[in-house]
Chains A and B, each alone.
Chain A
Amino acid sequence: MGEKSSHNHARERLRESLSAAMDGEASELEMRRVLDRLDSDDELRGAARRYQMVGDLIRHEATDYMGIDLSAGIREQLKDEHVSSESSQNATADQVDSKVVTLFNRFWERTGQVAVAASVTFAVILGVKQYNAEPGTEYLADAGSQATLYQPFQVKPGGYGASSIQAGYHSKQHSSISSEQLAQAQDVATRAIRERFRAYALQHAELSTMYSGQASLPFARLTTFETQ
């Protein structure tokens, strides 16, 4: 029940941010949060449309097309287009972050489990590769075909009466990972970690504002974090 209540509170705060954003009165962080969500949150999009429509109706400016929504069609049509100005190449870190967060959130929503499995696999491969680089690795023979499993594990006596287990996967494919590819993978992983942490920090800031009298402080902390 408490969780539901805090969820409702978070949604209410998001809608308040939307209301301010529609009036051009939202802070930069709020604007980013609203725009990030607008793409995937139908309920928020609906609220945005209704806020605008209500304003038109209050001013008696509503047209006969007030039930029409072109935005979905336009989004679809512009999906693969980019603004081709120089400024787009010089996008600020804010916009880049904003896009990365959106993509990142979608990615984690849909492929979280796959990513975890892939990470574990990758770690195992790296471990084995490192092991291979060490002298005296007589457990692994030169592979004649790719993805062939040689001696999946070998138990050898260890100290203190315990046994150590060593994995023994080897393939040409794995051993041909270049340092460039490795650096790329590390870069992607670092960015993913950073963005995930940022998403957590943002979520934390939102929740903190609900339970704190000094509502702006968590966002201030977050801003400090983002500038680092």
Chain B
Amino acid sequence: MVEQPQSDQHLVERVQKGDKQAFDLLVIKYQHRILGLVGSYVSDYQEVQDVAQEAFIKAYRAIEKFRGDSSFYTWLYRIAVNTAKNHLVSKGRKLPESDIDVHDADFLDSAASLRVVDTPERNLYRDEMERVIHDVIRRLPDELRTAVMLREFDGLSYDEIANVMDCPVGTVRSRIFRAREAIDKEVEPLLRRG
């Protein structure tokens, strides 16, 4: 999992100063991971969404207490797990016997360990999306492909990618953007089709 503690910290500080749009961006960044996490505790598809939303709301209300000792995601992760457990207790349901170690949150492969509400349709849809994306990436010019993979897969910063590729940071930024746009061109119609 790619973590961006520094960039998140910057956004968190903005939220702490009252910038709600910064929190909006944090929601966009982490909502699917949190949904996946909550989905490992709660089986109902709609309830998962409600609990995940509640976790974000709690995080917002408590964000003044976040001091950056852990990454934002780790902190959010703990809130989401507690919210999911509280939800189960309130519904009189049994808590899971084994728990996911919160200290492993930064390295959690949500797709591998948490996917418990798969349906054939959803699997098919996700596989189709992955196939399309990897197909586009294969067809990208070398420099775009390398830049976007170093960023998305290896989690390197722009500075680090610039060192690896021996080019200016501005070029890295532009290559990553162009790669994303090329992928987006194929992905957007698929999403609209649903």
Interface residues of B in 1-57 (CB under 8 A from A): 1-2, 4, 6-8, 10-11, 14-25, 27-29, 31-33, 35-36, 39, 48-49, 52-53, 56-57
A156 at the interface (CB under 8 A from B): no
**By the criterion CB–CB under 8 Å, are A38 and B119 in contact?**
no
Closest chain-B Cβ to A204's Cβ sits at a distance in Å of: 22
**By the criterion CB–CB under 8 Å, are A61 and B1 in contact?**
yes
**By the criterion CB–CB under 8 Å, are B177 and A83 in contact?**
no
B87 at the interface (CB under 8 A from A): no
Closest to A77 in B: B57
The distance in angstroms between the C-alpha atoms of A47 and B181, with both chains bound, is: 9
**B4 proximity list for chain A (CB < 8 A):** 23-24
Known: A15-B181, A88-B18. A68 touches B24 (CB 8 A): no
B105 at the interface (CB under 8 A from A): no
The distance in angstroms between the C-alpha atoms of A85 and B126, with both chains bound, is: 41
Known: A91-B18, A95-B18. A65 touches B60 (CB 8 A): no
**A10 proximity list for chain B (CB < 8 A):** none
A59 at the interface (CB under 8 A from B): yes
B163 at the interface (CB under 8 A from A): no
**By the criterion CB–CB under 8 Å, are A38 and B153 in contact?**
no
**A109 proximity list for chain B (CB < 8 A):** none
**B188 proximity list for chain A (CB < 8 A):** 46, 50
Q: Interface SS of chain B: helix, strand, loop or mixed?
A: helix
B78 at the interface (CB under 8 A from A): no
The distance in angstroms between the C-alpha atoms of A193 and B81, with both chains bound, is: 48
Closest chain-A Cβ to B33's Cβ sits at a distance in Å of: 7
**By the criterion CB–CB under 8 Å, are A83 and B158 in contact?**
no
**By the criterion CB–CB under 8 Å, are A68 and B32 in contact?**
yes
Closest chain-B Cβ to A111's Cβ sits at a distance in Å of: 22
**By the criterion CB–CB under 8 Å, are B39 and A65 in contact?**
yes
**Chain B interface (Cβ < 8 Å from any Cβ of A):** 1-2, 4, 6-8, 10-11, 14-25, 27-29, 31-33, 35-36, 39, 48-49, 52-53, 56-57, 60-61, 63-64, 109-112, 114-115, 117-119, 122, 125-126, 129-130, 133-134, 137, 148-149, 151-153, 157-158, 173-174, 176-177, 180-181, 183-184, 187-188, 191, 194
- 12 extra interchain contacts, Cβ-Cβ under 8 A, other than A60-B130, A63-B35, A85-B16? A24-B6, A24-B8, A54-B133, A60-B109, A64-B115, A64-B117, A65-B32, A65-B39, A66-B32, A77-B57, A82-B18, A85-B64
